[in-house]
Amino acid sequence: MNKLYEKSITRGQQTNKLPMVVWDLGYTLVRLNTKSNNPLMRKKLHFMSCIYGAEKKLSKTEQRALSLLYILGRQKANIIYLPNGTPAPAIIKSWYKGTLSLQAAHKKIKSLLKENRSTNSHEQEFIKELLFSLFDPVLLASNLVIIPSAYKLMQWCNHNNYQQALLSNLDPYTYNEFKHLPAGHKIFQFIPTQRQIISGNIKMVKPHKTIFAHTVKILKQAPEDIIFIDNAHENIESANKLNIHALWLHPGNYKKIKLDLISLSS
């Protein structure tokens, strides 16, 4: 009999259940596909990856576009970060939390561009394309692809009777698009709706401790019975403070994550 399965068998009055595995989504289970035959689309996807993904190097025009977002406001507390380690503009945090509607985001961008025109009309139009791409849930969702090693690990967890859940800093619009796409169907076949915890639906974001406390409550698990997997170190630190077993996913170290899961389950 599988040793991991044995742990879920009741022995007398005591039940030794397996911990619940809680996944992050972006760059843990899926990544943004930045390849395209269309040059403008390729640049949009690259900029999106600099904000939502793992790309750290921005072009000069991308830096100007990002600097415009900071004009709308900077985060003051419970900061979330860009892939390059700098605090994200406040509008990005509001977008994640679901406190900024799609219509309001577009209105803010239009107003921002009107008040901060570039002397270069070509650059102005390009910056407009970049900024609007950040608030295009169809574009983002349709370019999320599953990381093969992550999917294999999800399959392994399912085969070995781990319950799985999701905790993601995803806006509600992209989530609603993604869950209906083939990639979403593949991921969510292992995670029932009630265990899909999305920032945009609950108005909380990682790494703030409230979202982890909320997760513990929603999943009806003791913190020590949860294994949380994320690629952002600040999220790992926050989860650990609540006695959640948090595993930091370095790029490509899914084999080590599997070994850690086995170790924490024994």
Give pLDDT tens digits for 68-112: 999 999 998 889 999 888 999 999 999 999 999 999 999 999 999
Domain architecture of the chain: domains with CATH: 3-31+144-265 (3.40.50.1000), 34-142 (no CATH)
Both tokens of 187, joined, read 């991921």
Q: For the chain, how far is it from start to end, CA to CA, in angstroms? A: 15
Give pLDDT tens digits for 4-45: 544 443 333 344 589 999 999 999 999 999 999 999 999 999
Average pLDDT over residues 215-236: 96
CA separation for the pair 164, 171 (Å, rounded): 21
Average pLDDT over residues 45-53: 95
Its pTM surpasses 0.85 = yes
Q: Is 168 exposed, middle or buried (0-12, 13-18, 19+ CB in 10 A)?
A: buried
- Amino acid at position 156, single letter: W
Both tokens of 139, joined, read 């574009």
Model pLDDT, residue 119:
75
Give pLDDT tens digits for 160-195: 999 999 999 999 999 999 999 999 999 999 999 999
